[in-house]
A and B are shown apart, each in its own frame.
Chain A
């Protein structure tokens, strides 16, 4: 299946822990994104990479660190997890996303719960 995939789908962890979420796309796209969706369904961009180069870095705590080992992968590492980090995190990809608009394809999401 051609798609954007994320692992894990669910993540339950204690405050203060460090965790990672992985994203892979096999669509051949050159741009990947991380979004956070809060409990009110508000979806907000966090980061974007184009050809492994960081092009969007929103006002996100530096506890969040994205890493793109290649064009097909974009991982998100979160240090010292806090209660407010509980949300659904979506990965997305597009082709040629650096200018104008190109359709973004979203993954199924990772539901993070911090206890």
Chain B
């Protein structure tokens, strides 16, 4: 069983839809939680990060962490075709002294005009 589970999709939505992307994890020792966006044939780029339970908002994006359920989400409001990409969740252990990121498999999102 992978440490971080993420539905690979693909997920296809119409422009303007609200998108919900999710990851679950098995180890409560994870402390930092990130979402990376990866466009086709490009490297991942950091979208959002958080280290506490609750919500964090940045424009059309909201990251949500529920440590009690070991569940994190990324919501995209008013989705645009330019949001079409693979979204990767990533986590780091509380005790990490190496900066080692554990990634989910990534969810491929397509937003249709």
Contacts and interface: CB of A to CB of B under 8 A. Distances in A.
A107 B99 contact: no
Contacts of B41: 109
Contacts, number: 68
A37 B101 CA distance: 13
B105 A42 contact: yes
B98 A98 contact: yes
B99 A31 contact: yes
B101 to A, nearest CB: 7
Interface residues of B, number: 26
B43 to A, nearest CB: 3
Interface residues of A, number: 28
B108 interface: yes
The CB with the most chain B CB atoms within 10 A, among A101, A108, A109, is that of: A101
A1 interface: no
B43 A107 contact: yes
Interface stretch (A12-20, A43-51, A59-67, A78-86): A43-51
Interface in A9-53: 31, 33, 40-45, 48, 50
Contact of B8 (A33, A41, A50, A90): A41
B97 interface: yes
Contact of A109 (B43, B101, B106): B43
Contact of A40 (B42, B97, B105): B105
Contacts of A108: 42-43
Contacts of A107: 43
A91 B20 CA distance: 29
Contacts of A44: 103
Contact of B99 (A4, A102, A106, A109): A102
Contacts of B44: 43, 90, 106
5 contacts: A45-B100, A94-B99, A100-B96, A100-B99, A103-B46
Interface of A: 4, 31, 33, 40-45, 48, 50, 55-56, 90, 92, 94, 97-104, 106-109
